[in-house]
Amino acid sequence: MNSTTALALIVLAAVGATGLVVGLITWLLTRRALVNRIGDANVLEVGQKLIDVLATAGLVVDSSNTVIRSSASATTMGLVRNKSLAVAELVDVVDTVRRFGEPVFVELEIPSPGGGDDHWVETRAALAGNGNVVVLLEDKTESHRLDDARRDFLANISHELKTPIGAIGLLAEALVDATDDPETVRKFSKNLRKEALRLGALVQDIIQLSRVQSKDVLGAAQPVDVSAIVHEAAERCVILAESKDITITVNPLPDVLVVGDPELLTVAVKNLIENGIKYSDDGKHVGVGVTTSKNNVKISVADLGVGIPKDEQKRIFERFYRVDSSRSRQTGGTGLGLSLVKHIVFSHGGEITLFSKPKVGSTFTITLPRFEPAQDGETA
Ligand code: ADP
């Protein structure tokens, strides 16, 4: 090969390589133009699909803060109205993301759209190109409520435990000083026993309440004979009833089943009978009856006791709530009995209602779903 031929080959190669590169760039540019043309729509479509499948609420705002994509839950949470961010705190978050170009992760307290308690919303926001900002929101209101309830419960428990523990300490000290006086020793010992019993009852109710709250009751449920639990519950109250000369009448019981935990259901009925006795004067009467309908079983406990004023009737199911603290303490009440009943009944898919009139009496009714075993030949 001479030098002219070599030069010609080099020029040809150079022309060929340049063509290849130019072609590539042109192709890339065309593709980019194409991507630019259809990209935004596609990205938004994919974004909407992603938002739709997210467990959390989500939205995308453009550079003028118009909401261009949002999940239905973002609207129900009151965060989006007429394609705008309806909450000032959220506008601040989006502005901060734009100003600093960094993702923001913050928990916001947002007024409820229905005017109820504020919502707590865990918020993550980040730039998504073209001045758009993606915001993901998770409603933490329920977990805040549970945290508050747990805090209140712990504060209440410590307070409730301190009272009998303090009393036991004082009585023990007084006993030491009264060793020479048998009458005083007898009196203090009696009080000591009362406080110890109260402490025991409190601890037992706390354990039972936390058991029923943490347990998947229906996970280990079985068919339960209602008449057996009512008889057992009444049986457990006999000593208390005798101490006050109160009769417990159990009306004839139908043969009927519910599904659940027999021990917990017995505790629920027992607590109602016990209250009927505790909040009645001596010599009165407590009645227990069961009625059935096609789908439900109703267990009613009626007393002729002190009754409960209308405005207190909702609150008595709260933990540690007592209408008359001194009477409850006097009867060894823990303030947890009805709260336990409510939790047991709810965890069995039932409900509890109350009819009461001061100085006339009270009737508590537990309604539970009825269980019908499959007949021969039927599949369950
Ligand atoms: P306690 O241990 O104080 O009895 P409960 O949770 O069982 O706690 O009941 C809460 C409050 O409701 C009681 O302190 C009492 O004031 C009221 N209460 C419950 N049952 C009755 C009833 N059958 N008659 C009148 N008051 C009742």
Cα–Cα distance, 130 to 168 (Å, whole number): 71
148: Cα within 13 Å, side-chain hemisphere: 7
pLDDT top residue among 8 and 340: 340
Lowest average pLDDT, out of 171-185, 209-223, 237-251, 281-295, goes to 209-223
Verify whether ligand 1 is closer than 6 Å to residue 338 (CB atom). yes
Among 156, 274, 275, name the best residue to mutate to test ligand 1's pocket (greatest count of ligand atoms within 8 A of Cβ). Answer: 275
Instruction: Give residue 364 CA to ligand 1 midpoint distance, Å.
Output: 11
Is residue 60 within 8 Å of 40, Cβ to Cβ? Answer: no
Q: What is the pLDDT of residues 148-159, one digit of tens each?
A: 878 888 888 888
pLDDT top residue among 34 and 234: 234
Both tokens assigned to 283: 């010599």
Secondary structure (3-state) at 223: strand
Max Cα distance, the chain (Å): 135
Instruction: Give residue 257 CA to ligand 1 midpoint distance, Å.
Output: 28
Verify whether ligand 1 is closer than 6 Å to residue 323 (CB atom). yes
What integer pLDDT is reported at residue 23 of this predicted model? 36
Q: What is the enclosing helix (H) or strand (E) of 363?
A: strand 361-371
Verify whether ligand 1 is closer than 6 Å to residue 334 (CB atom). yes
> Which ligand 1 atom sits nearest the alpha carbon of residue 325?
14
Among 338, 357, 366, name the best residue to mutate to test ligand 1's pocket (greatest count of ligand atoms within 8 A of Cβ). Answer: 338
Which residue type is seen at 317?
A: F
Please report, for residues 234, 245, 247, the alpha-carbon distance to residue 239 in angstroms, rounded to integers and kept in the order given: 10, 10, 11
pLDDT top residue among 196 and 34: 196
Verify whether ligand 1 is closer than 6 Å to residue 352 (CB atom). no
Both tokens assigned to 137: 């929101």
- Residue among 247, 192, 224, 215 at smallest CA distance from 340: 215
Average pLDDT, the chain: 84
Instruction: Give residue 285 CA to ligand 1 midpoint distance, Å.
Output: 17
Instruction: Give residue 361 CA to ligand 1 midpoint distance, Å.
Output: 12
pLDDT top residue among 5 and 120: 120
What integer pLDDT is reported at residue 33 of this predicted model? 41
Verify whether ligand 1 is closer than 6 Å to residue 300 (CB atom). no
Q: Name which residue sits closest to atom 11 of ligand 1, judged by CA.
A: 322
Q: What is this structure's pTM?
A: 0.68
Cα–Cα distance, 276 to 354 (Å, whole number): 12
pLDDT band of 147, cuts 50, 70, 90: confident
Tokens 């009306």 sit at which residue? Answer: 251
Q: What is the pLDDT of residues 336-366, one digit of tens each?
A: 999 999 999 999 999 999 999 999 999 999 9
Number of neighbouring beta carbons within 10 Å of residue 197 = 12
**What average pLDDT score do residues 222-247 get?**
96
Instruction: Give residue 328 CA to ligand 1 midpoint distance, Å.
Output: 7
Q: What is the CA radius of gyration of the chain?
A: 35
Q: Name which residue sits closest to atom 14 of ligand 1, judged by CA.
A: 322
Q: Name which residue sits closest to atom 13 of ligand 1, judged by CA.
A: 322
What integer pLDDT is reported at residue 17 of this predicted model? 42
**What average pLDDT score do residues 127-150 get?**
87
**What average pLDDT score do residues 215-224 get?**
80
Secondary structure (3-state) at 60: strand
Pairing of strands 285-292, 247-250: parallel
> Which ligand 1 atom sits nearest the alpha carbon of residue 335?
8
Q: DSSP secondary structure string, 75-142?
A: HHTT-EETTEE--HHHHHHHHHHHHH-S-EEEEEEE--TTSSSPEEEEEEEEE-STT-EEEEEEE-HH
Rounded (10°) angle between helices 226-236 and 262-278 = 40
Q: What is the pLDDT of residues 25-41, one digit of tens each?
A: 233 333 444 444 445 55
Residue 283 has pLDDT above 80, yes or no: yes
Verify whether ligand 1 is closer than 6 Å to residue 333 (CB atom). yes
Q: Name which residue sits closest to atom 2 of ligand 1, judged by CA.
A: 333
Instruction: Give residue 319 CA to ligand 1 midpoint distance, Å.
Output: 11
Is residue 231 within 8 Å of 250, Cβ to Cβ? Answer: yes
Please state, for a pLDDT cut of 70, what percent of the chain lies above it.
Answer: 82
Cα–Cα distance, 274 to 332 (Å, whole number): 11
- Output the CA torsion sign for 164, 170, 171, 176: positive
**Which residues make beta-bridge pairs with 289?**
300
Q: Which are the contacts of 124, defined by CB distance < 8 A and separation ≥ 6?
A: 103, 104, 105, 135, 136, 137
- Residue among 292, 232, 235 at smallest CA distance from 266: 232
Instruction: Give residue 66 CA to ligand 1 midpoint distance, Å.
Output: 55
Cα–Cα distance, 317 to 338 (Å, whole number): 5
Cα–Cα distance, 170 to 178 (Å, whole number): 12
**C-alpha dihedral (212, 213, 218, 224), degrees to nearest 10:** 20
pLDDT top residue among 75 and 245: 245
Q: What is the enclosing helix (H) or strand (E) of 302?
A: strand 296-303
> Which ligand 1 atom sits nearest the alpha carbon of residue 361?
24
Is residue 374 within 8 Å of 291, Cβ to Cβ? Answer: no
